[in-house]
Amino acid sequence: MDARRALVALNDEWRSLAVRGAPGWGRREPALAAASDLAGVLALIRAQPDPVLAALLRLGAAGDRLAHRVVLQTMLGKLVLLCTGRPDLLPEAISELWLAIAEYPLARRPRAIAANLAWTVQRRLPRAEPVRQVSDRYPAAEPPEPDASGTLGEARRLGLIDEPTHRTLWTVYVAGLTSAQAASLLGSTPELVRWRCSRALRKLAAHAELLAA
């Protein structure tokens, strides 16, 4: 199935699902009590993403596949951003997202759930060629050679960068997104993306010999 057909199929399915009432979820998960239907659940996610997504993940883990389907729907826009310039990867990204939702370690990662799901999908997709510019305002240094993803992983292992910075650098330099696209995907701002990239690249350059060892 090509990217356009995959999106159309999912959105058509969602339109038929969204008119249904939420199936008694509020009695089991207080975070969902205010939603009278699935469209209302999406609105709750926008207002309080982590508590509502956590509730849906718990329901899904207990066997409610519809709850996982709601999580998938709210992540579709992020998947489209993730596949910018590579739309042929969207069907694969959707499949990987289903797996990431089913396997999500909620006890270990109860915060930034949407960003964590997106990050998991990013890591599982084929790498994009690194971009050479974070934004028009901030020309970026070249990502570390010979392999940006591997070097960033090593920098994280050595403690040179923290997890949010690792994700940010990976999204820009490996996935190839602009600072605005990366910000949307990571739940951040373009300014913070640019700042993290600029600061981290200076630090990695200062430790180039350690990373090359």
Counting Cβ atoms within 10 Å, is residue 40 exposed (0-12), middle (13-18) or buried (19+)?
middle
Q: Are 193 and 186 in contact (CB under 8 A)?
A: yes
Average pLDDT of every residue of the chain: 83
Q: Are 35 and 55 in contact (CB under 8 A)?
A: no
Structure token pair of residue 118? 């997106």
pTM across the whole model:
0.69
Q: What is the pLDDT of residue 139?
A: 45
| Domains and their CATH numbers in the chain | 3-124 (no CATH), 148-212 (1.10.10)
Q: What is the pLDDT of residue 65?
A: 93
196 SS3 class: helix
Q: How many angstroms separate the CA atoms of 116 and 49, rounded?
A: 12
pLDDT digits (tens, 9 = 90+) for 170-208: 888 777 778 888 888 888 888 999 998 888 888 888 887
Pick from 33-37, 84-88, 136-140 the range whose average pLDDT is largest. Answer: 33-37
Residue 121 has pLDDT above 80, yes or no: yes
Q: At what angle do helices 65-82 and 113-124 cross, to 10 degrees?
A: 60
